[in-house]
Amino acid sequence: MMKPETGIEALVANAKDEQLKAIGYKILHKERISFDEGVVLFEKGSLSYLGALANWVREQKHGDKTYFNRNFHIEPTNLCVFSCKFCAYSKLYAHREEGWELSIPQMLDIVKSYDGKPVTEVHIVGGVHPKMDMDFFVELLKAIKAHRPDLHIKAFTPVELDYMFRKAKLTTEEGMKLAHEAGLDSLPGGGAEIFHPEIRTKFVKTKWMQMVG
Ligand code: SF4
């Protein structure tokens, strides 16, 4: 039995709930917890208890180093040809007076506003605009890289890429190659994994879910 002294050991030893205590000890003994134990943690564990255990595991694996990415965002437009059920962000192109569309010089001005600041990445995502096509974004990527070559460009959800590739009659491979050569370094994460299967099926016909689900 681990000696309850300070820190995480004391936290686990003093847990009032016997199930939470047993799971805590399992984690401290580096044993994998089961799905049901994860549910118990979710239902009964306080955020601080969970956070302390998660941080302990993180430090066991990676030491006490924490890395931060300093980035800034550009949203070229919120106009979108799709209307995903869950989206409270987009406006249909037919209602474009309610949304925004940035030109390449406007977006480059945003990039330039970070000149001299220690950012490492620009994150670019937005709606699927019918007129912002492959040529438009290739020009944007090249302009950003020409201005600040060391800036990592993380851009475009799969649904944006799919639309621009199809419009340009490019395969996914051809489109990705072209975007990468123009300066695209990585894509943002999807997020579909957060949905419970029951909820996912409600969205499954949407373009977004087809691409990232
Ligand atoms: S494709 Fe993206 S921006 Fe367009 S409606 Fe769906 S979630 Fe919203």
What digits encode the pLDDT tens for the residues 38-82?
999 999 999 999 999 999 999 999 998 888 889 999 999 999 999
Query: Which residues neighbour 96 within 8 Å (Cβ) at sequence distance 6 or greater?
Result: 79
CA distances from 186 to 69, 88, 137, 146, 151 (A): 14, 25, 14, 18, 12
List, as one string, the DSSP characters of 144-189: HHHH-TTSEEEE--HHHHHHHHHHTT--HHHHHHHHHHHT--B---
Pairing of strands 91-92, 79-80: parallel
Q: What is the pLDDT of residue 116?
A: 96
Residue 69 has what pLDDT?
Answer: 87
Q: Answer whether 106 contacts ligand 1 (Cβ < 6 A).
A: no
For 30, left (φ over 0), alpha (ψ -120 to 50), or beta?
A: left
Q: Ligand 1: does its nearest atom lie under 6 Å from the Cβ of 86? A: no
User: Please, which residues bridge with residue 39 across strands?
Assistant: none
How high is the pLDDT of residue 7? 87
Determine the CATH number of domain 71-212: 3.20.20.70
Report the pLDDT value the prediction gives residue 66, as an integer from 0 to 100.
Answer: 83
Q: Is the CB of 83 under 6 A from ligand 1?
A: yes
- pLDDT at position 106 is 98
**8-state DSSP, 17:** S
pLDDT digits (tens, 9 = 90+) for 118-172: 999 999 999 999 999 999 999 999 999 999 999 999 999 988 999 999 999 999 9
Token code pair at residue 127: 């709606």
Q: Is it the case that residue 201 has pLDDT exceeding 80?
A: no
| Separation of CA 178 and ligand 1 centre (Å) | 23
pLDDT in tens, 87-131: 888 999 888 899 999 999 999 999 999 999 999 999 999 999 999
Cα–Cα dist 208/213, whole Å: 8
Confidence of residue 5 (pLDDT cuts 50, 70, 90): low
Q: Which pLDDT belongs to residue 28?
A: 95
- Please name the residue that has the structure tokens 């302390």: 52
Task: Answer yes or no: is pLDDT of 190 > 80.
Answer: no
Element (H, E) at 11: helix 7-13
pLDDT at 64: 86
201-205: list long-range contacts, CB under 8 Å, 24+ apart.
Answer: 202/85, 203/84, 203/85, 203/86
Domains in the chain: boundaries: 7-62, 71-212
User: What span, in angstroms and rounded, lies between the C-alpha atoms of 47 and 98?
Assistant: 40
pLDDT reading at 208 higher than 70: no
Q: Is the minimum distance from the CB of 84 to ligand 1 under 6 angstroms?
A: yes
- CA nearest ligand 1 atom 3, residue: 127
